Structure 1
């Protein structure tokens, strides 16, 4: 893991520069708008409000007995917001090197800085929304101790997006079709996760397919904490670590093979 460790050291030694770049990234995304960064919260908040109004208030739809909650809108919000945070962080991380190509060709900066900037900026924007869910949902189970599991879950999700976002950024630099393929995978991936329906509703013989989605352990963990006030299952933590370890191994291989050609590809 020499190449990956070297990039981690570069991130740590440039941590102040990374934070400045992250703040500028957030400001640049909403430059020229009156509301500024508030636009980042408009879509997820309006989506959550629509789910609650349509499914819980207007139609009063209910899930089955084995669901973590009976209210459909409440269930959708708990899974949709983490999924939206994952998709944005991964997509921005994947495109980060392509967008920074001209800068990297003129300056000897480590490429990982630009990936980390994009992923961290998306996390800074969405993390408050996920933590706000703890305040809204926690009242239903009296803020039981498992709510603290949200902190390591968010940290691990950041690591997941950084690893796979960096790996996909290298793929995208070598083959531009990666952007379209990943975009399609993310649009389909929501149907192969417990975001729209509980795991119990998926055919038992095909439930293993859900675990091919890297966000499944996180989504089910968030649902356990937010909807039931219980600790995530050990299986959730185990599979989450497996996805992170797999991302680290893939990234190490890509870094070793692309180190000399990466800037030229951009």
Structure 2
């Protein structure tokens, strides 16, 4: 069932040195020609989360209900929005990675997985330090309870999830260019079908199952539990996250098997 994906991952491991070089070039390409250099990699998400804090917590002092993991709106939004921005960045850039590398793949027999993998790793270099920076900033509110370290496995599993989504979308986009536009719309709307902007408790109970159709619902709930409350995420978070990874792994393996002979021609 996973033979194609297992073989692809084996190739990526053997070419991990090349993957590191491609990742560094990917990050360099994002800031090429700018005077600010790497500053522009981290500045946009930093300004976004700073705006949430200033507007909702400092200026308006908005508060959530008692059932929310924290009472402060801006503090709540920052956790979910950072995780969501990381996912969207990896998915969108990864989706177009094979299309951008088409000419290179025509000339060199490289594993196609190198290109979505480099974009996902580059996104991780940008957003993982920002998520980790929230640990000391938020831990004071719950006196550094040990559950805060759940952020580490959550980041690793989100990286796996992002790679599977990005690679699958890259293959689909190569086969049908309309996928890029459709997924762009879905990612814009997906933030509303997740606990990023509001706690699950505020979502109508009989419609809460819809939230689990979003693969990022489980990681976001996990980050909120770990960072806002210092509590280890419940088993439903881990089960849902692993279930999404398993489903995406099956779909990606099938896509790799069926596209093996045509993928380069599609590009």
TM-score by length of 2: 0.98
Aligned to 2:214: 213
Query: Equivalents in 2 of 1:42, 1:118: separation in Å?
Result: 19
Report the count of equivalent residues.
Answer: 266
Residue 146 of structure 1, CA deviation: 1.1
Aligned to 1:59: 60
Note the 1:1-266 alignment, pairs <5 A. Answer: 1-266=2-267
Query: Equivalents in 2 of 1:59, 1:164: separation in Å?
Result: 37
Secondary structure, aligned partner of 1:70: coil
Query: Equivalents in 2 of 1:166, 1:59: separation in Å?
Result: 42
Alpha-carbon contact 2:30-2:41 (below 8 Å) kept: no
CA-based RMSD of the aligned residues comes to 0.7
Secondary structure, aligned partner of 2:62: coil
Residue 258 of structure 1, CA deviation: 0.3
Which digits, 9 at most, give the CA deviation of each residue in 1:128-163, with x for residues without a partner?
Answer: 000001111012112211121111100000000111
Query: Equivalents in 1 of 2:130, 2:77: separation in Å?
Result: 15
Query: Equivalents in 1 of 2:225, 2:136: separation in Å?
Result: 15
Residue 36 of structure 1, CA deviation: 1.1
Residue 64 of structure 1, CA deviation: 0.7
Query: Equivalents in 2 of 1:151, 1:260: separation in Å?
Result: 38
Alpha-carbon contact 2:94-2:116 (below 8 Å) kept: yes
Secondary structure, aligned partner of 1:214: coil
Query: Equivalents in 2 of 1:166, 1:45: separation in Å?
Result: 27
Alpha-carbon contact 2:102-2:264 (below 8 Å) kept: yes
Residue 85 of structure 1, CA deviation: 0.4
Runs of 4+ in 1 over 2 A off after TM superposition: none
Secondary structure, aligned partner of 2:96: helix
Which digits, 9 at most, give the CA deviation of each residue in 1:51-71, with x for residues without a partner?
Answer: 111111111111111000011
- Gaps in structure 2 of 5+ consecutive residues: none
Query: Equivalents in 1 of 2:123, 2:104: separation in Å?
Result: 21
- Gaps in structure 1 of 5+ consecutive residues: none
Secondary structure, aligned partner of 1:183: helix
Secondary structure, aligned partner of 1:48: helix
Secondary structure, aligned partner of 2:215: coil
Query: Equivalents in 2 of 1:250, 1:164: separation in Å?
Result: 10
Query: Equivalents in 2 of 1:85, 1:38: separation in Å?
Result: 17
